[in-house]
Structure 1
Amino acid sequence: MGHQTKAFPIKQLPSKEKRHQLFGSVKPAPRTKPVDKMHMADLQNTKKDFLFDLDAVGVTKVKNPIMIYSSIAPYTQTSIGEFTFTSSLKQTNKGTNMSRFMEQLANYQKNGFSTELDVLKKFTKEIAKRVEQQDAALEVNFPWFFERQAPDTGLTGLNHADAGIRIEYHELKGFCIYLSLSAAITTLCPCSKEISEYSAHNQRGNVIMEISVSEDYQEADLDWKKVLLEAAESNASARLHPILKRTDEKMVTEQAYENPRFVEDMVRLIAADLYETSFITKFKVTCQNEESIHMHDAIAAVTYDKTKEV
């Protein structure tokens, strides 16, 4: 006998319109306000004394696809950036036109939105003009991926660091450029190595580097992401790897044992590298270790302004 499909009773439902009415939908009320833009009230452009100038007004938590160019493979990569777009606002203006920030982004996105500094500087300057203010600021944060090779087997995989760019523009003062990178590293405790009969505890550290760069800096000459990553990793006890076989693991753990680092050591060593980097004008370095034998983390930070030496 053939398989027979079981028949189920069919419930008779009201029409979709009646279902909507059942759950509260009502017919549109009579329309009395203008429908064309020319006759609509423009509250944002109201001119009065609104008590205070505003430091910043705009949109934030804007996620958008981005293109990233890197001097480390993968050389071209796509990612998602989280943006903040702002400008100041004069005391005489009630508000800003938020849609203009998003229109600007949509225009740039048509050709793929690159995180190259020259592109972001141009974008920020145009934003200021578009919202009719003397200044504007753009901030974007994104994960940046880079290829990492195991020290013995040569097996490669992808690591990542969190990068950030902030561009500030003022029609009289020009541009200020702030860059940041958060990278993970390995540190081995010098004290543990010193006092223990054998072994030493180690942990993963997180290094955050925040820098200001000169306005004439050209990232085509030197990739700031690579510079900051190397400053963090080359001063650590050891680098992190996506793929390690036994021979690789032996090399990495021995290297860490040979290069013990406190958080204090880390920030000072990294600061020395950043101090010697010509395009960096100011920097802050923070290192936070997720301690493996304590419930707390260890943290250290250093800030330095090279412009005050002049």
Structure 2
Amino acid sequence: MSSFNHRDTVLPDVTTEQSSAQVPVIDNVGMQGIAIPLHVLGKRGERLASQAKVDVTVSLDHPNAKGIHMSRLYNLLQQYLSNKDLHKSALLSLMNSLIESQDGLSKSAQLNLHFDLTVSRPALISRMSGYQSYPATLCIKRSPERYVAQLKLRVPYSSTCPCSASLSRKALSEVFVQQFEGKDLSVEDMGAWLASKQASIATAHAQRSFADITLDLANNDIPDFVGIIDLVETALGTPLQTAVKREDEQAFAKRNAENLMFVEDSVRRLHAALSKYYQATYFRVKVEHQESLHAHDAIAEISGSIHR
């Protein structure tokens, strides 16, 4: 009988074979898209996410090694993250263990945690509320020199074109003059006409827009996710709404009129808001206005250091 049928047979592992030839260093090798039940908490202990997709890699620095011990990376993710609350101490231990698990093959490791933050958002006027989803990625790198953490966050908002708003006001003004020039109108008459369908001469074009925020985190702490979202939405002034009543929809229309924005205006607002953000050392912002007038989108990018 072949020895391969015995339970005590040692199964071959080709990854342990070494080549006599020198091979180049591989920057990152590992796995991506691993599903992990992970509890992401807010500052008040509220659960913001309950699952994540994880990318994990290590460098392959040994000059003669064929490959890494990949299954060890997977097992360490389960040990440190599966059904656990996300904490800085666990991430620090995990990153060190990822490198140590390779028995001298690796000098650095990288971890990307992708999750959707589900945050309760109140309506503008009424007592309605609902949940908004914000895609986020927490990127962590560990090397012999340093440990760094970075947050990437996408915040949706509404933007109304200042040029379109100006042209709409001009069109309304022209029709108003044509219709009522020389007539004796009371304030009540003007108000009634402006509130009628006849006054819907033109409307400014608005679009769903996105702010992609990247923060280099100070002290590598778990960031205040909701605090950052609040900061961005307050700076822009036109956050997307969830559950609304008519008074909320009217308030939203007013917000858009009060915060007319080109992409240049949006990034400047975010630059001012993030320049003093206490949990980061550097920021990058990209905004995208998904045009309703054009078949293409408008974008702008800005970055800067944090000043305390």
Paired position in structure 2 for 1:121: 92
8 Å CA contact 1:69–1:116 kept in 2: the answer is no
Secondary structure of residue in 2 paired with 1:301: strand
Per mean C-alpha deviation after superposition, the further-off stretch among 243-252 and 269-278 is: 269-278
Instruction: Deviation per CA, 1:63-84: give whole Å up to 9, x if none.
Output: 1111010137x81244221111
What does residue range 117-156 of structure 1 map to in structure 2 within 5 Å? 117-132=88-103, 133-156=106-129
Deviation per CA, 1:200-230, whole angstroms, max 9, x where unpaired? 211110111011112x2544xxx43123312
Query: Normalised by the size of structure 2, how large is the TM-score?
Result: 0.81
The equivalent position to 2:41 in structure 1, one of 55, 60, 69, is 69
Q: Secondary structure at the match of 1:210?
A: strand
The whole-number CA distance in structure 1 between the counterparts of 2:86 and 2:66 is 32
- Which ranges in structure 2 are unaligned for 5 or more consecutive residues? 173-202
Identity of aligned residues (%): 23
**2:24, 2:5 → 1: CA distance?**
32
Tell me the SS of whatever aligns to 2:52: strand
User: Do the aligned partners of 2:131 and 2:242 also contact (CA within 8 Å) in 1?
Assistant: yes
Counterpart residue number, 2:288: 288
- Partners of 1:33 and 1:50 lie apart in 2 by 33
Q: 2:209 maps to what in 1?
A: 205
Contiguous gaps of at least 5 residues in structure 1: 1-29
Q: Normalising to structure 1: TM-score of the pair?
A: 0.80
Shift of 1:194: 2.0
CA deviation after TM superposition for structure 1 residue 31, in Å:
5.3
**Structure 1: distance between partners of 2:155 and 2:6:** 52
Separation of aligned partners in 2, 1:143 and 1:235: 22
* Farther off after superposition, 147-156 or 272-281: 272-281
- More relative contact order, 1 or 2 (CA 8 Å, 6+ apart): 2
- Structure 1 residues 86 and 34: alpha-carbon distance in aligned structure 2, compared to 1, 3 A threshold: farther
SS at match of 1:182: strand
Distance (Å, rounded) in 2 between the aligned partners of 1:67 and 1:260 = 38
What does the per-residue CA deviation read over 1:274-293, in whole Å, with 9 as the maximum and x for residues that have no partner? 11113312221011111112
Q: 1:1-310 to 2 correspondence within 5 Å?
A: 33=4, 39-48=10-19, 49-71=21-43, 75-90=46-61, 91-109=63-81, 112-132=83-103, 133-170=106-143, 172-197=144-169, 198=172, 199-214=203-218, 216-219=219-222, 223-305=223-305
Q: How much does 1:37 deviate?
A: 7.7
Cα deviation for residue 304 of structure 1 reads 2.6
Aligned-pair CA distance for 1:294:
1.6
Equivalent-residue separation in structure 1 for 2:255 and 2:49 (angstroms) = 34
Is the 8 Å Cα contact of residues 282 and 305 (structure 2) preserved in structure 1?
yes
RMSD value, Cα: 2.3
